[in-house]
Each structure stands twice: as C-alpha cells, then as structure tokens.
C-alpha cells in the first residue's frame, strides 16, 4: 500500500479564497448585497426586519429606514427575537437583510421564544441577500511596522483570547516549529509510583500523561509566552489527537511538561514514534499568511496577560490588513437554545465561534464529545435549518441534544452547507452514559441534501465527525455529501460491545450519501460510514457511495482506513446497494461482538454491494463469535489485495474450543470475486486438524460450506479506471442474483450552495487514485 500513496507534506497556510454569496459559496459580505424591487428578487414580506443600518429603538416593521430616519428595521437579531416574544400568537416572520451582524453575546432562545405547529416562527434572509451572524470581531487599527509585518493593539479588557483568524474569509494558521512536517515522540515518561497524572500501570511502572520525552533539540526551553500556556502540543495518539499546552521544558532530561494530562489509557498519551506538532510559537513566525497573538504584558517573564496585546500578521503579496477584512472569533457559541419549539432558520450564514481548549489542554476522546457546537439546540423540537451556512468554526457546527425534560424530536438540517469546521459538522444525541431513556434522547432527526466539507481543522479526530449520531434513534441521514475530513464521515451509536447492554441508537437510516477523501493519512481506525450500535435493531446503510479513505501511514503503526465499518458489538444492521472503492484497508469491516466475551451473535447483513480496490482485502472480520454476518450477492473487485483479512477461525472459542462449521460463524454466498491481475482468489480459515490458518481455493472453500454458489469471473464494469462501476450487459453478477443500482443517485439532489476548498490543517498523506 505504501507504493500507492503520495506523501504530500502540504505547506500549511496556502489558502483558497472564499467567494461571497453566489456560486463560489456564501461567506461574510461587507454590505447589503442584492435586494429590493426591480432586480427579480421581490420585496420580503415579514412581521419584523433586521438590517445593518437599523436601530433597536425602532419598530422593526419596515425593511429599510424611512425618509426622515425616524423608523425602520431593528439593528440586531436578538432585538427581533424579543419583539417576537413580546407578541405571542400568530405566525411571526423575521427577515434579516444582508451584511454582518457581530454578536456581543450568544443568541439565547428558550421555550418562551417558541412557535407552535399552527404558528411557527421563521428567521430568514431577505430575498437575494446574505446575512451573516458572526461570533467574531473585526480587527482594526493595523499598522505596517516593517515590510509585510502588520500589527494591531488589542486590550485584554475588550478581547477574549482566541486561536483563529480569518482574512477575507480565509482561515489563517498560527506558526509551528515545523513548517510542513512532523516531530516524533521519543516515548512516554514513567515513574515508580502512581500520582494524579501518572496513573496507568505498564510493566510495573506508572505512565505519565502530562509529560513526554522528546528527541534532540525538538523542544526549546525559552519559547515566548511559554509561562502563559500559549504554546500548544498537538499529540497524535492511536486514533485521536490531543491538543495540550506546554508548561515547561527539562532540556537536560529532554522532558516536556504540560499544563494537564491527556486521557489516561492504552490508546492515549505520548506513544513512542508517534507524531506531534508544536503550535503558536512566536519564534517560528516567518511565513506570509501566518499570525501570532502576543498576550505577554510583562516580558521577559511573561507571567501576566493583563494589559495590551499585540496581534501580528505577515501579509501575503497584495494584502493590506488596514483595508481588508480581518476577523477573530470571540463568542464561545452563536446560538444557545433550550426547550425551543417550532422555529425555522433559512438562508442565514453562521460563523466564528470561539471554542478553545481549556487551560489544562484538551485530552481528546473518540467523537470529540466535549467540544461545543456553534449552534446548540437542547431539549428542542421541530427546529429546521434550511439553506443555511455554518462556516469557520472552532468547534462543531450544530448539535441537537436531549435534556430529559423536554422532547428533542423532528429537527431538520436541509439544503445547507457546513465547511471549514474546527471539529465536526452535525452532532445528534450524546455519548451513551446509561442515564438516558428512549424517550429522552434526540430522535427523528432529518439530515438531508447538505454539503459538509473541510472538517477537523482544529480537532481532527473522532470517527464520523461529518455527521455524528450518538444515543439517538429514528434518524434519517440521506443525500448528503461529506468530504475532506481527517477521519470518517458518518458515525452512529458509540455503544461498544453487547455484554454491557444495548445503547439507544436504533432505527437509523443512512442512505444515498456520497462520502469521500477521508482520513488523508492523518488518523487511524476509521470508516467512511461507521456503526457502533451494539445489539440494537432497525439500522440500515443503503445506496451510499464511499471512496478514497486513507488511514495514517505517517506513524509506523497506523491502520484502518475502511469503507463501511461495523465496530464492536454492532448487530442487526443491513448494508445494501452501497458502492465502496479505493480504501487503504477493508471495504467492509465487521469487528468482534464484545471485547470481554466474544460469544454474541451479531447477524449483520451485507447484501448486493460493490467493494472495489480495498487494499489489502475486501472483508475484515474481527472476532470469533457465531453468526457475525452474512455476505451475499456482493461483488469483490481487487488487484493486489485478497477477499479476506483478519480473524476467520471456525472454533467454538467461548465454549468447547472445538472446530465448528464455518457457516455458523459467517455466511458467504452468491458473491462474485475478481482479481484484475487474473490470479485466482484464495480464502482463509483455520484448518480443523492443524488449527492453523490455511489458504483455500474457491473450490476448497466451497467444500467447507462457504460461497457455495459464488464465482470467480470478471464483473464487466463499464469503466472502473474512470470510477464507473456500472455493470455491462451480460455481467456474470446478474446470474448470481445481483440487482443493479445507480451510484449516481448518491449525494445531494440539488446543489444550490457550493463551498470553497478549505486549506489543510496538518501534514497529509494522500492516496494516488491512478495507482489502483
């Protein structure tokens, strides 16, 4: 596989211009945009209006100031909210005119801001105009101090600390000590007794998670503002990346100390040979497009951040910060809604939340569960986001979460664009905690016809961070396009194993989604579509297209770039009519039933799918349990790989330990296998006599009761080198009962909103499609 990857050490800070409003995608604009009569847009009819030239002391019932400037629209969205709240009953429409609305505090909605089924409330854009609700603040007062160096003075009493800057709608990055590559850990630090941050025993020693050994001179002792915790360590673990803060450096023993620990466990911490980056280093500020916020107000000690800060920006060619738009995030979140009902947001752009890792750093867990969302709806129902854009976030885009006291149901995200996301896109439900009930969790959510791209720019990890569904049921995720994430695209469940009880992620539909260009060599152990739904029922994966999933190859032990991934305990899921191609690991992976006792049947059904060019294999099996899955009427198309990988033993591991028929462990039949090199496929299982893994020809495999009707023939795809997997007339797959489906139906049904390319946040390792 290494020969099939192009090592693309991308230089950070190469940014792509974000368009404004029209075909290049919505973003911040500096004026009212289009609008009014005479341009084909019409006049917006609403109960209240908001405009950048409005006044919160006016009535808000006019869409523009009147001739004597005595009345007109409101100036702020929150004033319109209060106006609606003050007139209960009736349908209320608030139209927001084009321009930028910089929040001085998050918009807070409660039950008293709700509509009803017969009288919903709508906040929408004025026809043909693009309002932007921003949690940021424009930076002014720039001075050119020398060459391309520009500075602005910010008062600590007026500004919150921030870790992002957007120049003319483009994310710009802070300086790192390595311009385009990585540093590598020399290993964990151990001590002979346990302590608060050294509490995981390994071989009689206690591993510490708030410090690590570094190589040579990789970490300096005298970084500017080190004492303020402003220098960050980005630590790539097994499948997560923790964003920690550097506290001090012991140069003699080559130990870097952090302000707090990562999560303490075998897959976290500072693993020998794994990557890390050092970010926000003033001494590394050398490249055009970089910026640095100097909060040190008592140099050289730099123990105080009270007073005047200096923001420095290195301008690119033809850039003038004094004339251009420079925005930094300030509000932790943009919308905080609790128990809100029957409210729709249409055609509005939401940007610039200010999530930041805490002073002790952020120890990452799978799914990034404690990172906040720019738009948060808790205990809220019948909320709709339609044709909206959520962009330039530091955390998640939007979340719907139950709170146990009010229903969280029938919410929708439709026809919208989410891009340039610090963490993930859409989060539904919470991490399973055993304290919720089927009625109290988020449910019946519709996510349809959205584009979600450029995620993980701050926190890259967590399987399924394009659309993440936790303890939540009866959700429909359909006709979305999710791409350019550093892990998987869509994840459901996150309740692992079966022995501890099933979670609440049941009856979820994931259908007709197009997910691609995932992982990109940044993280390990992912699936384009991922389930960890335990022993629940009713989950389906239908008619999706997954391609170009590449796991981390930058660490020597990286692994797991799968197409469709049923993780530990996932049961009773139907995967049908999916096309999966070009994956750095299995096209389909069915993991074990339970980590403590792998004895539970899962009964997953994988039927009528196309798995092409999975390397090193089409199917991976992770356990010894009975009835793990049925794999029927699928096409396995490969070149250097094999049909199977992983654990294919046929033994009663949890019982007698004796050989059992393979068909009691897994069932394969009516499949079509084809090695493009012409070499006959081989199959693996344990020999019943020697108890060792043995390779079998198809005929020998069939004697064992597997693939009794399957064949080794060319499926006759129309143009697989051009990613066209349409079956030509006369394909032998048709004789095996394969039912053709149309992969072109996956993805968005309409593409009203487009998004720009988002610059890479980390060194990537990309797959070369021409090598397949």
Q: What does the pLDDT read at residue 39? A: 57
Q: Give the Cα separation of 441 and 531 in Å (integer).
A: 18
Q: Give the Cα separation of 294 and 308 in Å (integer).
A: 9
Mark the ranges of the chain whose per-residue pLDDT is less than 70: 1-39, 771-772
Q: What does the pLDDT read at residue 405? A: 76
Please give the structure tokens belonging to residue 658.
Answer: 């004796």
Of the candidates 79, 76, 85, the one whose C-alpha atom is nearest the C-alpha of residue 115 is: 85
- Contact (Cβ atoms closer than 8 angstroms) between residue 62 and residue 45: no
Say how many C-beta atoms besides its own lie within 10 A of residue 69's C-beta. Answer: 10
Cross-strand bridge partners of residue 244:
233
Q: What does the pLDDT read at residue 186? A: 97
Q: What does the pLDDT read at residue 121? A: 97
pLDDT single digits (tens) 373-411: 999 999 999 999 999 999 999 999 999 999 887 789 999
Q: What does the pLDDT read at residue 640? A: 77
Q: Give the Cα separation of 143 and 226 in Å (integer).
A: 26
74 secondary structure, DSSP code: B
Q: What does the pLDDT read at residue 608? A: 98
DSSP letters of 322-346?
Answer: TTS-EEEE-BS-SEEEES-EEEEEE
Mention every residue, 6+ apart, whose C-beta is less than 8 A from residue 434.
501
Say how many C-beta atoms besides its own lie within 10 A of residue 654's C-beta. Answer: 15
Please give the structure tokens belonging to residue 75.
Answer: 């100036």
């Amino acid at each position: 596989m290494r020969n099939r990857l192009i090592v693309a050490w991308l230089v950070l800070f190469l940014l792509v211009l974000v368009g404004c409003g029209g075909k290049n995608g919505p973003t911040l604009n500096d004026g009212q945009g289009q609008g009014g009569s005479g341009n084909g847009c019409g006049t917006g009819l609403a109960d209240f209006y908001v405009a950048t030239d409005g006044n919160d002391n006016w009535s808000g019932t006019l869409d523009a100031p009147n001739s004597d400037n005595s009345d007109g629209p409101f100036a702020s969205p929150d004033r319109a909210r209060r106006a609606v709240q003050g007139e209960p009953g009736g349908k209320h429409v608030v139209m927001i005119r084009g321009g930028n609305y910089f929040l001085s505090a998050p918009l807070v909605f409660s039950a008293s801001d709700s509509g009803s089924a017969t009288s919903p409330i709508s906040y929408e854009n004025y026809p043909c105009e693009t309002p932007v609700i921003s949690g940021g603040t424009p930076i002014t007062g720039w001075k050119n101090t020398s060459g391309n160096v520009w500075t602005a003075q910010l008062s600590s009493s007026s500004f919150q600390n921030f870790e992002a800057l957007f120049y003319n709608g483009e994310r710009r990055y802070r300086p790192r000590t390595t311009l385009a590559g990585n540093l590598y850990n020399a290993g964990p630090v151990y001590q002979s007794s346990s302590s608060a941050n050294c509490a995981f025993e390994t071989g009689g020693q206690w591993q510490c998670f708030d410090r690590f050994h570094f190589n040579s001179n990789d970490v300096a002792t005298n970084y500017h503002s080190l004492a303020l915790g402003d220098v960050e360590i980005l630590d790539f673990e097994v499948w997560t990346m923790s964003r920690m803060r550097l506290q001090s450096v012991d140069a003699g023993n080559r130990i870097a100390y952090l302000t707090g620990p990562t999560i303490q466990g075998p897959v976290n911490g500072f693993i020998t040979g794994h990557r890390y980056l050092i970010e926000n280093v003033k001494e590394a500020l050398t490249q055009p497009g970089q910026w640095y916020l100097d909060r040190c107000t008592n140099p050289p000690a730099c123990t105080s951040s009270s007073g005047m800060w200096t923001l420095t920006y290195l301008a690119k060619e033809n850039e003038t910060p004094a004339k251009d738009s420079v925005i930094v995030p300030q509000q932790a979140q943009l919308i905080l809604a609790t128990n809100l009902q029957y409210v729709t947001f249409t055609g509005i752009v939401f940007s610039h939340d200010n999530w930041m890792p805490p002073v002790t750093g952020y120890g990452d867990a799978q799914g990034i569960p404690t990172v906040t969302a720019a738009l948060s709806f808790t205990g809220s129902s019948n909320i709709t986001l339609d044709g909206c854009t959520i962009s330039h976030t530091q955390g998640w885009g939007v979340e719907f979460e139950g709170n146990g006291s009010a229903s969280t149901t029938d919410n929708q995200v439709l026809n919208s664009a989410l891009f340039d996301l610090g963490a993930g896109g859409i989060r539904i439900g919470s991490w399973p905690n055993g304290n919720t009930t089927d009625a109290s969790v988020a449910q019946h959510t519709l996510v349809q016809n959205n584009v979600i791209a450029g995620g993980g720019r701050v926190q890259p990890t967590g399987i399924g961070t394009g659309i993440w569904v936790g303890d939540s049921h009866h959700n429909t995720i359909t006709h979305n396009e999710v791409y350019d994430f550093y892990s998987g695209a869509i994840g459901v469940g996150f309740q692992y194993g079966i022995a501890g009880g099933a979670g609440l992620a049941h009856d979820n539909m994931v259908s007709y989604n197009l997910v691609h260009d995932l992982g990109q060599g940044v993280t390990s152990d992912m699936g384009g579509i991922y389930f960890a739904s335990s022993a629940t029922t009713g989950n389906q994966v239908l008619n999706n297209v997954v391609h170009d999933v590449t796991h981390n190859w930058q660490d020597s032990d990286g692994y797991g770039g799968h197409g469709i991934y049923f993780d530990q305990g996932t049961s009773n899921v139907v995967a049908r009519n999916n096309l999966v191609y070009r994956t750095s690991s299995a096209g389909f992976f069915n993991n074990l039933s339970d980590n403590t006792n792998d004895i539970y049947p899962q009964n997953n059904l994988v039927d009528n799918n196309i798995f092409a060019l999975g390397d090193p294999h089409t199917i991976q099996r992770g356990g010894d349990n009975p009835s793990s899955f049925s794999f029927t009427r699928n096409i396995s198309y490969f070149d250097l790989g094999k049909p199977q990988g992983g654990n294919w033993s046929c033994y009663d591991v949890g019982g007698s330990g004796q050989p059992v028929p393979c068909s009691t462990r897994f069932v394969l039949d009516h499949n079509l296998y084809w090695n493009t090199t012409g070499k006959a496929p081989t199959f693996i299982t344990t020999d019943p006599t020697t108890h060792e893994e043995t390779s079998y020809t198809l005929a020998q495999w069939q004697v064992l009761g597997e693939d009794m009707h399957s064949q080794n023939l060319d499926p006759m795809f129309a143009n697989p080198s051009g990613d066209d997997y349409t079956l030509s007339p006369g394909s032998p797959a048709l004789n095996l009962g394969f039912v053709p489906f149309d992969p072109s139906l996956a993805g968005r049904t309409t593409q009203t909103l487009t998004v720009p390319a988002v610059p890479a946040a980390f060194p990537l390792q990309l797959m070369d499609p021409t090598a397949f």
